Amino acid sequence: MPLVVPFAEDVFTWPSDKPQLIGCKCSECSAVFFPEQSACGRCGSTAVERELLPTTGTVYSWTSQEFLPPPPYAGGETRDTYQPMGIGLIDLEGVVMVEARLTECDPDRIHIGDRVEMVIVPFRSDDDKDVVTFAFKPV
Ligand SMILES: [Zn+2]
């Protein structure tokens, strides 16, 4: 079994039976952000603490990424092997909005307002490692 590693550190809890996105919450104004950052994007306070985010939410909006994204995207595809993917703006239970990959890219299978849950999906294969990322899929 190859080692399964996240595409970046500190984006979601890993390894975990129920991975969660890692955001932060401002102690001053209670604003929540993803990804985690060192200062509040609303009031500028540096009193921010790590906050694990809900794993379910609602599709606020979505689109289809039809062409291979430029770096820093590092999915490992080429222009010839790239398959379009859905990208959604997900409202995580009113806590925070996150932009994320969707497991669906077909307008018949994903809609604004759909309930979704976070899943871990393959991102690319490195020599001896399977690199994974997070996505949201309809429930
Ligand atoms: Zn704040």
Query: What pLDDT score does 118 carry?
Result: 98
Peptide bond into 54 cis (omega under 30): no
Query: What pLDDT score does 43 carry?
Result: 98
Ligand 1 centroid to Cα of residue 32, in Å, is 8
Q: How far apart are CA 65 and CA 52, in angstroms?
A: 27
Ligand 1 centroid to Cα of residue 52, in Å, is 17
The mean pLDDT of 94-112, rounded to a whole number, is 97
- Judged by average pLDDT, the poorest of 4-8, 13-17, 83-87, 125-129 is 125-129
Query: What pLDDT score does 116 carry?
Result: 98
Ligand 1 centroid to Cα of residue 65, in Å, is 32
Q: How far apart are CA 76 and CA 60, in angstroms?
A: 28
Ligand 1 centroid to Cα of residue 29, in Å, is 4
∠ CA 113-132-106, nearest 5°, is 35
Ligand 1 centroid to Cα of residue 44, in Å, is 6
Ligand 1 centroid to Cα of residue 38, in Å, is 11
Torsion-angle region of 65 (φ positive above 0: left; ψ -120 to 50: alpha; else: beta): beta
Ligand 1 centroid to Cα of residue 95, in Å, is 14
Q: How far apart are CA 107 and CA 133, in angstroms?
A: 23
Q: How far apart are CA 80 and CA 32, in angstroms?
A: 39
Protein residues near ligand 1, an ion, with CB under 5 A: 26, 28-29, 31, 40, 42-43, 45
The mean pLDDT of 48-70, rounded to a whole number, is 97
Query: What pLDDT score does 126 carry?
Result: 87
The two three-digit tokens of residue 24, written as one number: 């932060």
Q: Hey, where are the domains in the chain?
A: 55-138
Q: What is the pTM of this model?
A: 0.92
Where b means 16+ CB within 10 Å and e means fewer, 22-56 reads bbbbbeeeeebbbebeeebeeeeeeebeebebbbe
Residue 134 pLDDT more than 90? Answer: yes
